[in-house]
């Protein structure tokens, strides 16, 4: 299934006992349709308040509902801030997390001294003028293969903290700043901590040329703060050895 | 003052005793800043759930706060879904309603069989395919000077129900339909009833060539339904005999 959701109302993707989550609602809808308890595997644990323009989740079922009708049945049962865009049958070996080759997150900042009421909970409202060229220099320092411990929040166990950032582009369109970062994987809070470091660099609190040594030292306190969840969107996920957004074989 | 607001959380512009309104919050903020009870005159009574990308409101005061600093003080006291963009001193004779020459409303429809979670409460989600050319024909029928009683909800007293619609453009950008209508004044629910009639026309429930006689008969039941509030935005207001958005002399 390919999904889109606005994360404002949810405690992230992952099902939790007492909080409303996207996975919880998606599974509830699916269980009601398939009349069978089904586990839905999402491509990542987006945090509370984080959004997804492109998100992939898979499940196994012996039910015979046609894949190309599933999104209609699902959307009839889901709230308006979650949508299933489409669904396709995939090979047995497919797994939303393990088959994933790379992901893209995009972070939006409204860089203006007047907030935009229509972007409440959708971007990080940041009034102080940000310097695109410094942020680009800082973003370039994250590209490549590094140990990303310095921009990781603890809380999850991972085998390795080494990741490869394929690109980290920073663009400005009027008052909107857009940071698009693609990697073979993201550690917990890594995207938001990198964005926070770009903003820190723009404010002169860290020099872009210092980022390499910050990564080397691996100390979280040396990098910038974690940017707010509301500006972050999952915007791409690639599968199956072929580049292409949400390519499902 | 020039304002922008997302109307979802509010019972419209006009102050009400027991409901949260934009005027109520704007006046409360202003009173706190000026330390004096001040009446704010808005350029129109937007309904509950209706938005404003451009909105004008004026007030009289003897306070000496500089106009070009007012928006900062106001925004510090207003919630994130209301913003004061700027403020200027105007001549004594200025009145947001009476000095207004024309206004523009824009209505957005998401015309797709899959809703967009990021446009919840921001557009009318309408899955059935809409026909742009029929809607344009219907829109053209409203242009010019007519008695608009047929697309008016009762509830307010007005001297005349004759208005002049200057233009009514319908455009499509992907799944987004945009209807932009400008008139010297709008009757209660007139913009939404006209949009509902365009949609009715597209569905074959009324012929564009019948609209002239519907206007002539002036019976509300002959026109289309009132489109939902969430798709409507005030997008322009012109003053002072000179064309131009929010031209304040």
Determine the Cα angle at B94 with ends B241 and A113, to 5°: 95
Reply yes or no on whether B47 is catalytic: yes
Q: pLDDT value at position B157? A: 80
| Strands B144-147 and B124-125, bridge-based pairing | unpaired
**CB-CB contact of A222 with A185 (8 Å):** no
According to CATH, the topology of domain A102-239 is Alpha-Beta Plaits (3.30.70)
Select which of B19, B28, B47, B86 is catalytic: B47
CA-based nearest distance B187→chain A, Å: 26
**CB-CB contact of B121 with B8 (8 Å):** yes
Class of domain A2-86: alpha beta
| Strands B124-125 and B100-110, bridge-based pairing | parallel
Residues 6+ apart with CB under 8 A from A78: A25, A26, A29, A84
pLDDT tens for B48-57 read 999 999 999 9
Confidence check: pLDDT of A244 > 70 = no
- Judge if B2-86 and B104-237 fold alike in CATH terms: yes
In chain A, residues with a C-beta closer than 8 Å to the C-beta of B117 are: 4-6, 80-83
ipTM value, please give it. 0.87
Confidence check: pLDDT of A156 > 80 = no
In chain B, % of residues over pLDDT 70: 96
Residues 6+ apart with CB under 8 A from A28: A77
Select which of A47, A80, A131, A147 is catalytic: A47
The arithmetic mean of pLDDT across residues B18-37, rounded, is 95
What is the CA A37 to chain-centroid distance, rounded?
A: 27
The arithmetic mean of pLDDT across residues B78-85, rounded, is 96
The arithmetic mean of pLDDT across residues A155-163, rounded, is 87
CATH architecture of the domain with residue range B104-237: 2-Layer Sandwich (3.30)
Domain regions of chain B by residue span? 2-86, 104-237
Q: pLDDT value at position A23? A: 97
**CB-CB contact of B12 with B47 (8 Å):** yes
Are residues A118 and B6, on separate chains, in Cβ contact within 8 Å?
Answer: yes
Are residues A75 and B118, on separate chains, in Cβ contact within 8 Å?
Answer: no
Helix H or strand E encompassing B202: helix B190-202
Beta bridge partners of A86: A2
Nearest chain B residue to A73 by CA: give it: B114
Interchain contact B8–A (C-beta under 8 A):
no
**What b/e sequence results for A44-61 when a residue is b if at least 16 CB atoms lie within 10 Å of its CB, and e otherwise?**
bebbbbbbbbbbbbbbee
Interchain contact B76–A (C-beta under 8 A):
no
Interchain contact A72–B (C-beta under 8 A):
yes
Measured CA to CA in angstroms, residue B154 lies from A89, B143, B150, B190 at distances of 53, 22, 10, 10
Give residue A195's region: left, alpha or beta (phi > 0; psi -120 to 50): alpha
Beta bridge partners of A181: A105, A168
CA-based nearest distance A85→chain B, Å: 6
Q: pLDDT value at position B248? A: 44
Confidence check: pLDDT of A81 > 60 = yes
Q: pLDDT value at position B246? A: 54
Least confident among A122-126, A155-159, B47-51, B74-78: A155-159
Q: pLDDT value at position A242? A: 44
In chain A, % of residues over pLDDT 70: 96
Alpha-carbon gap, residue B177 to A111, rounded angstroms: 28
Q: pLDDT value at position A135? A: 98
- Comparing CB atoms, the residue among A5, A113, A116 nearest residue B117 is A5
Q: pLDDT value at position B155? A: 74
Measured CA to CA in angstroms, residue B127 lies from A158, B81, B109 at distances of 43, 28, 10
Residues 6+ apart with CB under 8 A from A177: A108, A109, A110, A111, A130, A132, A135, A170, A171
pLDDT tens for A40-75 read 999 998 999 999 999 999 999 998 889 999 999 999
**CB-CB contact of B83 with B35 (8 Å):** no
Tell me the CB-side half-sphere exposure of residue A175, using CA atoms within 13 A.
14
Q: pLDDT value at position A246? A: 54
Q: pLDDT value at position B83? A: 97
**CB-CB contact of B181 with B191 (8 Å):** yes
Confidence check: pLDDT of B156 > 80 = no
Measured CA to CA in angstroms, residue A25 lies from A55, A74, B196 at distances of 15, 10, 33
Task: For residue A142, give the DSSP letter.
Answer: H
**CB-CB contact of B98 with B92 (8 Å):** no
Confidence check: pLDDT of B31 > 50 = yes
Beta bridge partners of B84: B3
The arithmetic mean of pLDDT across residues A4-20, rounded, is 95
> What is the SS3 string spanning B117-149?
HHHCCCCEECCCCCCHHHHHHHHHHHCEEEECH
């Amino acid at each position: 299934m390919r999904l889109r959701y606005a994360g404002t109302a949810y405690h992230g993707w992952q099902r939790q006992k007492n909080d409303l989550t996207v996975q919880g609602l998606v599974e509830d809808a699916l269980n009601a349709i398939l009349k069978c308890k089904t586990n839905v595997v999402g491509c990542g644990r987006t945090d509370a308040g984080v959004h997804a323009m492109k998100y992939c989740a898979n499940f196994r079922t012996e039910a015979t509902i046609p894949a190309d009708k599933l999104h209609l049945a699902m959307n009839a049962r889901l709230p308006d801030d979650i949508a299933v865009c489409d669904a396709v049958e995939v090979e047995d070996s497919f797994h939303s997390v393990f088959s994933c080759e790379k992901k893209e997150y995009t972070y939006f900042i409204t860089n203006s001294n007047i907030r935009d009421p229509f972007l409440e909970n959708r971007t990080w409202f940041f009034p102080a003028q940000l310097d695109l060229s410094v942020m680009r220099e800082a973003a370039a320092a994250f590209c490549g293969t590094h140990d990303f411990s310095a921009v990781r929040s603890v809380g999850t166990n991972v085998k390795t903290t080494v990741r490869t950032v394929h690109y980290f582009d920073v663009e400005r369109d009027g008052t909107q700043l857009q940071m698009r970062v693609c990697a073979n994987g993201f550690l917990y809070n890594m995207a938001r901590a990198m964005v926070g470091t770009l903003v820190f660099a723009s404010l002169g609190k860290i020099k872009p040329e210092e980022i390499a040594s910050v990564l080397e030292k691996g100390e979280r306190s040396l990098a910038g703060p974690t940017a707010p969840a509301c500006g972050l969107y999952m915007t791409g996920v690639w599968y199956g050895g072929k580049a292409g957004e949400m390519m499902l074989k």
